[in-house]
Homo-oligomer: A and B are copies of this chain.
Amino acid sequence: MQSIGIDDILDMESRKRAAFINCLSGAKATNLIGTQDKQGRTNLSIMSSAFHVGATPPLMGLIIRPDPVPRHTLHNILETGYYTLNHVNQDILSAAHQTSARYDKDESEFGATGLTSQFVANIPAPFVAESAIKLGLKLVHHQELAVNKTHLVIGEIQTVLLPEDAVADDGHLAITEHGSVAVTGLDTYHELQPIARFKYAKVGQPVELLGE
């Protein structure tokens, strides 16, 4: 075992530090965030920072980092109050990764990558047609975090688009059956192989697999 302290971390070259620290939280969701500005110019950006905030009401968080480069996604979310979150699957993985290139505001990542924008219901933001599981979100909270000037964005889920019969009676949605992938660090994508589904744990009882 080795130990790497905060001084060692701060001494690392900045790209090395970013790669290293991004690995430490563990597996991350891989999503495409779809937005548009008031002029209807669409934007699509791969993000690995989505996290569950709560079910009642249904809320999801995102961390969007500050940058010398303009952050179109954040600007559009604040301007329109809406955005979409689309699970990345294996079929669109390289197109999804390509959205991380620094396109101009006038060039949509949809056109540049070949992904198809889709407008559904009353959400004024583009969904990704090729994604199997996708959410329309309304902004309900935004703050700049004082600790490092990143932006915390929390959205309320307005609509969920997904394949017929995808949700089990108990509410579980087998996202792996629809190709959703994970990312570790900045650039390494993974398929998810189910290994166990456990029953609710109780004191004094051994862990049991669900269905046994």
Question: Interface of A with B (CB < 8 Å)?
Answer: 1-6, 9-10, 12, 14-31, 48-61, 63, 65, 85, 87, 90, 93-95, 97-103, 107, 112, 120-121, 133, 135, 140-141, 145-148, 150, 152, 154, 156-164, 166-167, 169-176, 180-182, 184-185, 187-203, 205-207, 210
Contact = CB atoms under 8 A, between A and B. Distances in A.
A205 B180 CA distance: 25
Q: How many copies does the complex hold?
A: 2
If over half of A's interface residues share one DSSP class (helix, strand or loop), that class is named, otherwise mixed; here it is: mixed
A160 B14 CA distance: 17
A158 to B, nearest CB: 5
A21 B190 contact: no
A87 to B, nearest CB: 6
B150 A54 contact: yes
Contacts of A103: 203
A181 to B, nearest CB: 7
Given A63-B52, A90-B195, A190 B176 contact: yes
A181 B154 contact: no
A171 B181 CA distance: 22
The 8 A-B pairs of least Cβ separation, nearest first, read A26-B29, A19-B171, A27-B182, A16-B171, A20-B171, A23-B173, A21-B55, A190-B192
